Amino acid sequence: MIPGQKDNFISGLTEDLLKIKMKKILITLTAIALAACTGKPAFDPASVADATADQVTRVEPLSWWTGMKMPLQLLVQGEGISEYNVTIEGGAGVSVEKINKADSPNYLFVDVKVASNAQPGTYYIVFSKDGQSFKYPYEIAARREGSAERTSFTTADMIYLIMPDRFANGDPSNDSVDGMPDKVARNLAFGRHGGDIQGIIDHLDYISELGATAIWCTPLIEDNLPWITYHGYACTDYYHIDARFGDNDLFKTYVQKAHEKDLKIIMDIVPNHAASGHWWMKDTPFKDWYHVFDTYTGSNIVFSTNMDPNASKQDLYIQESGWFDRTMVDMNLDNPFVLKYFQQWAIWWIEWADLDGFRVDTYPYNEKDPMAQWCAAVMNEYPNFNIVGECWTTSIPQLAYWQGGNENKDGFDSHLKSIMDFPLHDALRAGLVEDNPGWGQGILRVYDILSHDFVYHDLSNMMIFPGNHDTARLGDALRKNPDRVKIAMAMMATMRGYPQIFAGDELMFVSNNLRDAGDHGGLRVDFPGGWEGDEMNLFTAEGRAKATKNTDGLEVPQGQAADLFDFVSHLFQWRKTKDVIHNGKTMHFMTRDNTYGYFRYDEDDVVFVYINNSLEPKNIPWTYYKEISEGLTDGVNVMTGEPFEVSDVTVVAPQSVLIVEYQK
Ligand SMILES: [Ca+2]
Ligand SMILES: [Ca+2]
């Protein structure tokens, strides 16, 4: 039919007539379909026995939806299941396209076609052999309205990073769980402390009050190794929330409740490695499901092998295929079934839990080409989604290489939207504590890092952060100096990209002195007020005003918790609506006296930031800034709300920051 004919056909009908005609067409089509099925009665679920727990031990993804772009491939596990034929019953539109056998006889990978006319509902996977059949119910649901177009985190957001085990214990009944050997042990830095999803739900208002608009939790899915499981980075079951954090339904509730408070949820995921105690390690579907070595081979952690023109193939192989740790087996994303497993697993969590973004752990440890396909698959399903990868390198060109769209000489495109600005993190921490800076030192380090911005493909998708769960506590790095913590926070609120703050850094937490606290376990301190019986409660204004010192060894500086919280909260509440910060340009000025001045600007607004990181009062060098500051009047001091006029004798106190906003 040519377009003109269709237009004439429809325009010649009233709406009612059109409906009648369409109905007749539908009836005819249904009749044709039924005729085609002659001889095959409708499936009666009662006629086929349910699969026993031995016959089908597992089907993943746990469910699926109509209208998805990602093709569905079911992983089916069961004793000797590969000998069975598989069909899908329960309605037209959902059918088996291909049955793939694995190396192990106890798996099948079933390609399922969910046609555009498929109806949401319960279908049945029917397994048949020698005249015997059993069935397994499988839900194909309707998608949420607007699911594909969901938005994600952007420069308008501030991301609050939480380690759930250390944030708040909302449900003491799940601190230790039968069948899970790692029990609660709050006296150990590497023990479980009992924090959980309910604890986060209970404190969403605190997170909102701070000015955060998104939450990134370290992994919540099951990590059931015998010890050191509190961090969740060694997964033993990709489709279930760890019982010590809650369950899948509670996770979904957490996302809903966060959304009600305009907080986005970013899920932390780890496709690079699974736990040595993952359920599939007893019987992997394929021999090359993960990277197998004769003797333990750890990754050499040399990411440069990915873009180094002089690198040997062997070094690259060890980098991307070596294990992250003895308890973390390295997944083989070059196996197409593994890649597909992780693609649809990621999409399943977005769709099922209504997620707003991903943070991908140990990003460059994944084989880079299949990982790029992984990103592309997620972005194909959700074009506005954001994914930030942990590409932990101090090298700016190497970091830039990993951002999708970057013009890499080898043609590689990661399709990864966001990267973490580790070089800025390092410069900020190093520069802020240098009181007698030499050449290129002090706050000038930050200027130097920003001078490399020409290398990056997309500055708006840089996650900037003064600290996270893997680096020393900001309070320790800045030598317990609250004035410099304020400077760091002010820079995070006013620089390009989007900020991420690690829970507790807003209150200048420092590492505790629990046993074994020398490494990460010690900086991941419990949030005072998150546990019943805590002496301090820093979640409330009243508690912060009274806060002194925690008897557990955590030193919250006396009298400073309330002041710091108010400073950080004011900053990030202000930032929420500042388009000039979200999307404006930057102009910065180089000085060698441990001060730093920069402007964010667009057609309508200018924000001026002046940092005096030195130990003396400083006059703002306005004449030096005149190419952008000339003519600016009616400024407002962002922190005090007071009018601010440009003056040659504006003195800024030592170790402090001034932020002024102007309308052009
Ligand atoms: Ca708990
Ligand atoms: Ca790897």
What are the sequence ranges of the domains in the chain?
A: 3-36, 45-141, 159-575, 581-663
What is 45-141's CATH number? 2.60.40.10
Three-state DSSP class for 603?
A: coil
Quick one: average pLDDT of 631-637?
92
361 labelled catalytic: yes
The reply to whether 159-575 and 581-663 are identical in fold is no
The lowest-confidence range among 185-199, 534-548, 640-654 is 640-654
Separation CA 258–CA 356 (nearest Å): 11
| Under 8 Å between Cβ of 349 and 267 | yes
Quick one: average pLDDT of 638-648?
87
Pairing of strands 635-637, 221-222: unpaired
Residues 6+ apart with CB under 8 A from 129: 83, 84, 85
CATH 2.40.50.140 fits domain 581-663 = no
What is the pLDDT at residue 660?
97
Q: Which two tokens stand for residue 87?
A: 């069909």
Residue 100, H or E segment: strand 94-101
The alpha carbon of 239 and the centre of ligand 1 are apart by a number of angstroms equal to 20
The alpha carbon of 305 and the centre of ligand 2 are apart by a number of angstroms equal to 13
Residue 556: pLDDT over 90: no
Separation CA 337–CA 359 (nearest Å): 22
In our burial notation (b when 16+ CB lie closer than 10 A, e otherwise), range 473-492 reads bbbbbbeebbebbbbbbbbb
Q: Which residue has the higher pLDDT, 89 or 42?
A: 89
Question: Which ligand minimizes its atom distance to the CA of 318?
Answer: 2
Residue 372: pLDDT over 80: yes
Quick one: average pLDDT of 43-57?
96
What is the pLDDT at residue 254?
98
- Marked catalytic residue, from 222, 356, 361, 505: 361
Question: Which ligand minimizes its atom distance to the CA of 362?
Answer: 2
Percent of the chain with pLDDT over 90: 84
% helix, strand, coil for the chain, step of 5? 30, 20, 45
The alpha carbon of 535 and the centre of ligand 1 are apart by a number of angstroms equal to 18
Greatest distance between any 2 Cα atoms in the chain: 94
Residue 521: pLDDT over 60: yes
pLDDT 10s digits, 149-167? 999 999 999 999 999 999 9
- Marked catalytic residue, from 171, 175, 223, 390: 390
Residues 6+ apart with CB under 8 A from 243: 174, 177, 180, 222
Residues 6+ apart with CB under 8 A from 401: 306, 307, 408, 412, 414
Domain 159-575, what architecture?
A: Alpha-Beta Barrel (3.20)
The alpha carbon of 331 and the centre of ligand 2 are apart by a number of angstroms equal to 6
Q: Band of the pLDDT at 447, cuts 50, 70, 90?
A: very high
What is the pLDDT at residue 485?
96
Q: Band of the pLDDT at 13, cuts 50, 70, 90?
A: very low
Residue 32: pLDDT over 70: no
| Under 8 Å between Cβ of 572 and 557 | no
What is the pLDDT at residue 321?
97
519 labelled catalytic: no
The packing angle between helices 368-381 and 336-353, to 10°, is: 30
| Long-range pairs, 188-192, Cβ under 8 A, ≥24 | 188/514, 188/515, 188/516, 188/521, 189/512, 189/514, 189/515, 189/516, 189/517, 189/519, 189/521, 189/522, 189/524, 190/227, 190/228, 190/230, 190/516, 190/521, 191/230, 192/165, 192/229, 192/230, 192/244
What is the pLDDT at residue 10?
37
The alpha carbon of 245 and the centre of ligand 1 are apart by a number of angstroms equal to 6
Separation CA 289–CA 251 (nearest Å): 29
Residues whose CB is under 5 A from ligand 2 (ion)?
Answer: 272, 320, 330, 365
Residue 7: pLDDT over 90: no
The alpha carbon of 364 and the centre of ligand 2 are apart by a number of angstroms equal to 8
| Under 8 Å between Cβ of 550 and 537 | no
What is the pLDDT at residue 38?
44
